[in-house]
Each structure stands twice: as C-alpha cells, then as structure tokens.
Structure 1
Amino acid sequence: MITSVPIGDWTWEVTPGTGEIRTVRAAETALAVWSVLAGHELATPVGKVSVSVRSLNDTRDVRVRADGLELEPEPLAPGTPLSRAVTEADSLEGDFVVGIRIECPGYWLEPGAKHRAEKLFVIQVDIWKSSLLVVTLETYADAWLTTDTRDREQPGVYAENAPRLTAALGGISSLLGMAPTAGDPNRHATPTETGFEDPRIEGPAYDDSWGTFEVPARSRLLRSRIPASEDEYQEITDHPVRYFTVQRAGQTMGYVWASVGDEAAGYEPRTAAGVGAFEVGAEWLLRLRAARGQGLSALEALTWVAQRPPHPETGLVLEDIPQVAPSLDALEELSGRY
C-alpha cells in the first residue's frame, strides 16, 4: 500500500570538521543520496526539489522558498532553477535553517510486475546554524514489510523489495560515513538501521493501520483543499459503489464514486499518483457538491459529474459506463495499492 504519511524514516547527522556548511553542500548531498536510490530504481526521473531558508529564531520568517522545481539531468548547472535558488540562499547573511527536499518517484516490485509511485521516498537535507547537516530519508510504501499495512503476509513483495531498501540504506551510510538513526516506531511499522522489524514477530501496532489511519488522513488532506460545507453527500457507505476512473494526461489520478444503496458519494485519490491525485480530487468533490446543491441523488450526481465537459487540469472519466466495486473498502484498496 502507498501512504500519504511516512511508513518509516532514517536520519544521519553529519558534523564537518571545519568551516560553515553552505546551501550548495546540502543540495549536493541531497542529489548524492538521490543517486544512491536511483541505483536501485527507488528514485527515477522526474523528481521534484524544493529549497527553503527560514530564520533560526522565527521559522515563519521565510527568506527563500522555491517549491516543485524539476530535478533536471544536471540540477546544479549554472542557470537552472535549483542553482539559482541555491545561489540566492548562499548570498544571505545570518542564522538560518536551510532545507533541501526531493520527492522521489520510484518503483516497487511484486513477482512479475513493477509499479511506479510518484512519491516513493522523500529526501530532506537541513543545515542548522551553518554547522550541522541533517539528512532524513522517508518512505511512503509498505513494500519493505513482511506483512502489508492491512495485515496480509506478502512474502513475494518483501523478497523483491526489502533487499533493495537495505542496499540503499547501506549505500547512503557509506556516502555519509555513518549508520543511520532509525525513526521511532509508528502506527504502521518499526524502522531499523537496515529496514524494518518483522511485524509477524511482535504483531502489528494496529490492526489494518492503513484502513484505520491512512484512509481518514487522505480524506482530511483532500478536503483541506476546498472550503468547508454542510451541503455534502455522506462520505462512507456499507453498500456496493459505482465508480468512474479519473485520468489526467493518461495517468490515473483517482476514482469518483457513488453508493448504490444510500446517499453517499465521494472521490478516492490514487495515492501512488502523488499530490496531483489530491489536486484533481478537490475539483471532483466540488463537482459533487454542485450536484448536491441541485438536489440530485448520489447516483444521479455520479452520472452528472461524469458528463461535465472535461478540463485538462481536472481530468476526465475513462469509462463510458460506471464500474462496480463490492464495497467502498474495495475501492479504497484499489486506490491505495496501485
């Protein structure tokens, strides 16, 4: 399953012997970590990189912010957006917290298949007081676990992916000259220096942690993009659902759905599509809200929103007639797995 919050994380704290750490050093380090991941197809083009510089005494005081820059073949070549942002950051004088963040698309494997997630890993490199370099790696997939976050054993998936993660962590540790500090146990898993603990031994912290925590977290993230309203269809149902697949530029972004037995309707973001799934989903929720305002039933609303003129940014429905899922849980499963 793919999540919107990390499954686990690892941190390396690097203290150079002499001299202050410049922003360009943080960027070079982030790119070197990206290269290690890329060697195992855990990072592939095109990633997104962001640069931020905040006052050490007031993190609301942002001096430089450049978000969503494309990770070009030579990201720090003169004249590239990343190079310009790094140069601007290094021109500042004072005490700042400097951050370089790379969202890494990558591939997770299962026997006989390869699947891409638009945010498989995130690399975060921070400079504190120009003297401490903190490298953090986060993962957003459960492919490295012996059981997935819905408590199902996955020996084939684990065998394909866990060694790749272990090798990547080892490569980053060699690059930085130290072993990582594994992140704290969380609702999904327990990180270790080389990957994750086996949840089959102690048992998972929560039953079906993906369904228990990730589904509500995705809903909150999605709805945070639109104004609050009481004019909504119900968000959950115990009945089967009909749905349309929503695509943008040939990529599946999510599924707009309606219950066949009550007045529930909504949109399930395809988490593997990354932030775009939530951007698109917000617009489909607004369409459903408009249908609700016209007094349409949930199933009528599904047909109505699917027949609206397509928009390049909002996407379009793939099917001529809606598909049927036996439950909303089954559709959530589809949206979170592939």
Structure 2
Amino acid sequence: MITSNPIGDWTWEITSSTDGFRPRRAAETAVAVWNILADHELASPVGKVGLSVRSVGNMRDVRLDAGGLNLELEPLAPGTDLSRAVAEADSLDGDHLVSARIDCPGFWLESGARHRVEKLFAIGVDVWKSSLLVVTLETYSDAWLTMDTRDREQPQVHAENAPRLSAALEEISALLGSAPDPGDSSHYAVPTETGFEDPSIEGPAYDDSWGTFEVPTRSGLLRSRIPSSEDEYEETTEHPVRYFTIQRDEQTLGYVWASVADDAAGYEPRTAAGDAAFEAGAEWLLRLRAAHGQGLTPLSALEWVAQRPPRPEIGLIAEDAPQEAPSLDSLEELSGRY
C-alpha cells in the first residue's frame, strides 16, 4: 500500500570541521543520495528538485524559493536549472537555512513486475548556518515490510524489495560517513538502521493502520484544496459503490464513485499517482458538489459528471459504463495499491 504520510524515515547529521558548507553542498548531497536510490530502482532517472534559502533569524524571510526544477541526468552541470539556482544561493550573504528536496518516483517490485510509484521516497537536505548538514530520507510504501499496512503477510513482496532498501541505506551511510538515526515509530512501522522491524513478530501497532489513518488523511488532503461546504454528499457508505476510473496520459489518477443505496458519493485518489491524483480529485469533488446542488441522487450524479464536457487536465473517464465494487473499502483498497 502507498501512503500520503511517510511509513518511516532516517536521518544523518554531519557537522563541518573546515570552512563550512556552501549551498552547493546541499544540492550535491541530495543528488548523490538520489543517484544511490536510482541505482536500486528506488528512484527513476527523471524527477523534480526544489531549492530554498531562508534567513535563520527570520524563517519568513525567504531569500530563494526555486521549486519544481528539472532533475536532469547531470543536474549540476553548467546551464541546468539546478546549477543556476545553486549559483544564486551561493551569492547570498548572511546566516541561512538552505534546503534541497527531491520527491522520488520509483519502482515497486512484485512477482518480477515493476510498478511505478510517483512518490516512493523523498530526500531532504538542510544546511544550517553553513555548519550543520542534515539528510533525511522518507519512504511512502510498505513494500519493505513482512506484513502490509492492512495486516496481510507479504513475504514475496518483502523479499523482492527490502534488500534494495537495506543496500541503499548502507550506501548512503558510506557516502555520509555515519549510520542513520532511524525515525520514530509511525502508525505503520518501526524504522531501523537497515530498514524496518518485522511486524509479524511483535504484531502491528494498529489493526488495519492504512484504513485507520491513511483514508482520513487522504480525505483531508483532498478537501483542503476546495472551499468548505455543507452542500455535498456523504463521504462514507456501507453499501456497494459504482465508479468510473479517471485517467490522464494513460495514468490512473483515481476513481469517482457513488453509493448504490444511500446518499454517499466521492472520489478516491490513487495515492501512487502522487500530487496529480489530489489535484484532479479536488475538481471531481467540485463536480459532485454541483450535482448535489441540483438535487441529483448519487447514482444520477455519477452519470451527470460523466456527461460533462471533458477537461483533459483533470483526467478523463476511462469506461463507457460505471463499474461496481462490493464496498467502498474495496475501492479504497484498489486506490491505495501501486
């Protein structure tokens, strides 16, 4: 399963014993960690990187905010987006917090097949006042666990993926010259220096942690993108649901659905599609809200939104007729897979 908040994280801290760290060091370190992940197919060859500079004395004083830069094959070569941002950061005077961040699309392996996830890992590198460099690696997948976050054993998935994570952590530690500090236990898992504790030994911290925590989190992320309103359908149902698949550029972004027997309808983002799933989902929720304002039943609303003029930027409906799932939980399950 794929989550919106990290499954776990690891941190490395390095203090300067010479003249201090320049902003370029933050970018160089982030790229070096990304290259290690890419060697293990935990990051894809292309992606986006952001670089920011804030005044340590006033974090609201943003001196540089360069986001969504292309992460090219040689990101710091002269003339690239990142090298220009680094040059601007290097020219600034004063005590700063320099931050580089890379969201890493990568590949989940299962039964020998590769499944792309738009945000498998995230790399963060912070340089504080040139004297302290902090590297953080976060993961958003349970592929490294012996039991998934819905309490099901997955020995084959673990066998295909956990060694890749362990090898990457070992190589990052060699690069940085120290072992990682594993993050705190999350709702989902307990990080260690080499991966995660085995939940099949101690048992999971929560029953169905993905359903308990991820589903409400995704709903909150979706609804934070649109104005609040009481003029809308219920968010949950105990009945079967009918749904349409939303796709853009052959990628599934999510599922717009309606209950067959009560006043519930909504949108389930395909978490593995990353931010695009939530950006599109907000627009589909607004379409459902408009249908509710016309007094349409959920099933009529589902047909109504399917007949609206298409907007390719928010995705298109992939089927001629709605499909049916036995429950909303089963559709949430589908949306949370790779």
What is the TM-score normalised by the length of structure 1?
0.98
Cα deviation, residue 310, structure 1: 1.2
Cα deviation, residue 77, structure 1: 1.9
Q: Distance in 1 between matches of 2:16 and 2:109?
A: 37
Does residue 73 of structure 2 align to residue 73 of structure 1?
A: yes
Equivalent position of 2:11 in the other structure:
11
**Structure 2 residue runs without a partner (length 5+):** none
Correspondence list, 1:106-121, <5 A? 106-121=106-121
Q: Which stretch shifts more, 199-208 or 318-327?
A: 199-208
Equivalent position of 1:173 in the other structure:
173
Cα deviation, residue 105, structure 1: 0.4
Does residue 277 of structure 2 align to residue 277 of structure 1?
A: yes
> What amino acid is the match of 1:296?
L
Does residue 221 of structure 2 align to residue 207 of structure 1?
A: no
Correspondence list, 1:166-315, <5 A? 166-315=166-315
Cα deviation, residue 186, structure 1: 1.2
Quick one: percent identity of the two aligned structures? 75
Equivalent position of 1:139 in the other structure:
139
Deviation readout 1:86-136 (Å, 9 max, x if unpaired): 111111111111100000000011123221100000000000111111000
Q: Which stretch shifts more, 88-97 or 186-195?
A: 88-97
Equivalent position of 2:122 in the other structure:
122
Q: Distance in 1 between matches of 2:295 and 2:45?
A: 45
Deviation readout 1:155-200 (Å, 9 max, x if unpaired): 0000000101000000101111111000011111000000000111
Q: Distance in 2 between matches of 1:45 and 1:229?
A: 42
Deviation readout 1:247-273 (Å, 9 max, x if unpaired): 011111000000001010000000000
Q: Secondary structure at the match of 1:6?
A: coil
Q: Distance in 1 between matches of 2:294 and 2:83?
A: 51
RMSD across aligned positions (CA): 0.9
> What amino acid is the match of 1:196?
F
Cα deviation, residue 236, structure 1: 0.2
Task: Name the count of aligned residue pairs.
Answer: 338
Does residue 336 of structure 2 align to residue 336 of structure 1?
A: yes
> What amino acid is the match of 1:216?
P
Q: Distance in 1 between matches of 2:46 and 2:277?
A: 17
> What amino acid is the match of 1:243?
Y
Cα deviation, residue 307, structure 1: 1.2
Contact 2:46–2:73 (CA<8 Å) still a contact in 1? no
Q: Distance in 2 between matches of 1:289 and 1:14?
A: 50
Equivalent position of 1:327 in the other structure:
327
Q: Distance in 2 between matches of 1:43 and 1:162?
A: 15
Q: Secondary structure at the match of 1:59?
A: strand
Q: Distance in 2 between matches of 1:200 and 1:313?
A: 43
Equivalent position of 1:43 in the other structure:
43
Q: Distance in 2 between matches of 1:125 and 1:234?
A: 41
Q: Distance in 2 between matches of 1:247 and 1:230?
A: 28
Q: Secondary structure at the match of 2:314?
A: coil
Q: Distance in 1 between matches of 2:37 and 2:49?
A: 15
Cα deviation, residue 78, structure 1: 2.0
Cα deviation, residue 46, structure 1: 2.1
Q: Secondary structure at the match of 1:236?
A: coil
Contact 2:263–2:298 (CA<8 Å) still a contact in 1? yes
Equivalent position of 1:82 in the other structure:
82
Deviation readout 1:20-50 (Å, 9 max, x if unpaired): 2111111011100001001100000321111
Deviation readout 1:30-80 (Å, 9 max, x if unpaired): 100001001100000321111111111222221111111121122112222
Does residue 31 of structure 2 align to residue 28 of structure 1?
A: no
> What amino acid is the match of 2:129?
K
Q: Which stretch shifts more, 79-88 or 19-28?
A: 79-88
Cα deviation, residue 243, structure 1: 0.4
Contact 2:246–2:255 (CA<8 Å) still a contact in 1? yes
Equivalent position of 1:154 in the other structure:
154
> What amino acid is the match of 1:25?
R
Contact 2:10–2:137 (CA<8 Å) still a contact in 1? yes
Cα deviation, residue 85, structure 1: 1.3
Q: Distance in 2 between matches of 1:223 and 1:64?
A: 29
> What amino acid is the match of 1:176?
L
Q: Distance in 2 between matches of 1:69 and 1:253?
A: 23
Deviation readout 1:281-311 (Å, 9 max, x if unpaired): 0000010011111111100110111111111
Q: Which stretch shifts more, 255-264 or 72-81?
A: 72-81
Q: Secondary structure at the match of 1:124?
A: strand
Contact 2:241–2:324 (CA<8 Å) still a contact in 1? yes
